[in-house]
Amino acid sequence: MNDQTKNEINEIISQDLATKTIAKAFEKGGEFAEIFGEERSTVSGFFEDGKVEEFSSGSAKGVGIRVISGNSTGFAHTSDLSEQGLFAAAQAAAQASKNSNPSSINEIALTPKQHPRPNEVTIDPDSVSKSQKAELLEAADEAARLSGSEIVQVSASYGDKRRAILVANSEGVFTRDNQVRTFFAVSCVAKGDSGMHTGRETIGHTIGFELFDQYEVADVAKKAAKRALTKLNARPAPSGAMPVVVGAGGGGVLFHEACGHGLEADAIEKSASTFTGKLGQKVASPLITLVDDGQVSGEWGCYAIDDEGHPAQHNVLIKDGELVDYMWDGLRAKNEGRKSSGNGRRQSYEYLPMVRMTNTYIEAGDTDPAAIIADTPNGVFVSQLGGGQVNPASGDFVFGMTEAYLIENGLPIEK
């Protein structure tokens, strides 16, 4: 970051206080104790009906403490980061872990370690005024409306969030990370003889305000407007089963929902996934290699460490159609005698970690995308997927499309 003070990771609590707090959590025994500290802040702006409707900000800071004794986990959280507040939370977590045997651990030696970040932030969003951020929203509104007189409504949103985290545990881990994400979206409504239709375009990366050196908000707005305008002349979608070709980027979204959640170890542990017990088996086409990778620089799911202090990793889940691994957090990995895959994530310091994805994608194949469409006599080309959901236990999934074209005689037809 340009501001040197922002370039340093916030000290949520000191190493010395973390050591004392872990010792306090072990007073009544236990096998593992952990501190997760978090300081987060958000800024968001919303533009509609030709004006900035709101600009808001928020922040929170606190610590969650986990104590594990056998199969029992005690957890407590607090926003009181004084020694007294942390000790009280540590004792509450220890009591909840239902262990009354004195611990054999007399000393905890924390070793600071900094894992490499996947990317550095060059323009701190906090250094940019709200008026500059509002100008982006206004520019998007103007560009969208200039795309056509049929555009009758435009809304745009801006957001940035900072998340500083600290993880310390009884295994000697003491590590921190600072994550900054920036987001921008435009939605348009076009009105014509066929009714009203919407188009949307979104950009978002784990970077700072330099996002807008990489993207022009006018281009984002024009894409959203074009989607809405194109739908004015769209023909009704045919019914029945037909081949579907998913455009670049959509494959990751589809597999994130359709397969990703079923490959999270908490679902496997509960036998609530169609992939339970299928390691080493063919579960997809030999053309499919599915990866979850928290190291992809700048992408939304990248980070230096997960919320248990494990470094982000490149995890191959399906290799040439064969299921080769699941995604793991620390606790479930330890139960299986293996290492975490760096997928332990928390909603906030008030929650225990869960197994969740980072950046899920399909490795590129050798076939020219245009050739895939050309080899499809009749079908549907999905340019942009909408929302989707999956039942991990059965593998059944449903997706919507926000932009799609019929394929006729090997060519996508836009009307």
Who contacts 189 (Cβ-Cβ below 8 Å, separation ≥6)? 151, 152, 153, 154, 196, 197, 198, 228
Distance from C-alpha of 118 to C-alpha of 126, rounded to nearest angstrom: 21
DSSP letters, 199-211, are EEEEEEESS-TTH
Distance from C-alpha of 59 to C-alpha of 69, rounded to nearest angstrom: 33
Domain shared by 227 and 343, yes or no:
no
Of 166, 199, 231, which residue is a domain's last?
A: 231
Confirm if 312 and 342 have CB atoms less than 8 A apart.
yes
Is residue 83 included in any domain, yes or no?
yes
CA nearest neighbour of 95 among 79, 76, 108: 76
Confirm if 86 and 21 have CB atoms less than 8 A apart.
yes
- Domains of the chain: total: 2
Reading the block at residue 41, the tokens are: 């802040």
Is residue 368 included in any domain, yes or no?
yes
> Looking at residue 412, what is its pLDDT?
77
Who contacts 292 (Cβ-Cβ below 8 Å, separation ≥6)? 260, 263, 315, 317, 327, 341, 343, 357, 358, 359, 360
Burial status of residue 370 (CB atoms within 10 A of its CB: 0-12, 13-18, 19 or more) = exposed
Burial status of residue 304 (CB atoms within 10 A of its CB: 0-12, 13-18, 19 or more) = buried
> Looking at residue 7, what is its pLDDT?
43
Q: Quick one: which H or E segment has residue 23?
A: helix 15-25
CA nearest neighbour of 388 among 261, 258, 273, 224: 258
Domain shared by 62 and 140, yes or no:
yes
> Looking at residue 6, what is its pLDDT?
46
Domain shared by 388 and 279, yes or no:
yes
Is residue 334 included in any domain, yes or no?
yes
Is residue 402 included in any domain, yes or no?
yes
Confirm if 226 and 188 have CB atoms less than 8 A apart.
no
Run means of pLDDT, 10 residues per run, the chain, 415 residues: 45 94 89 96 95 94 94 94 97 83 59 90 96 97 97 98 97 96 98 94 97 98 96 88 89 86 95 96 96 96 97 98 98 94 97 96 91 93 87 89 89 69
Domain shared by 273 and 208, yes or no:
no
> Looking at residue 373, what is its pLDDT?
92
Domain shared by 93 and 116, yes or no:
yes
Is residue 324 included in any domain, yes or no?
yes
Is residue 33 included in any domain, yes or no?
yes
Is residue 236 included in any domain, yes or no?
no
Write out the residue range of the structural domain in which residue 361 sits: 244-413
Who contacts 260 (Cβ-Cβ below 8 Å, separation ≥6)? 292, 327, 357, 360
Cross-strand pairs, 46? 54, 157
Domain shared by 39 and 154, yes or no:
yes
Is residue 238 included in any domain, yes or no?
no
Confirm if 44 and 185 have CB atoms less than 8 A apart.
no
Domain shared by 224 and 254, yes or no:
no
Domain shared by 54 and 128, yes or no:
yes
Domain shared by 256 and 198, yes or no:
no
Domain shared by 339 and 221, yes or no:
no
> Looking at residue 387, what is its pLDDT?
79
Q: What is the CATH number of the domain that holds 154?
A: 3.30.2290.10
Domain shared by 148 and 69, yes or no:
yes
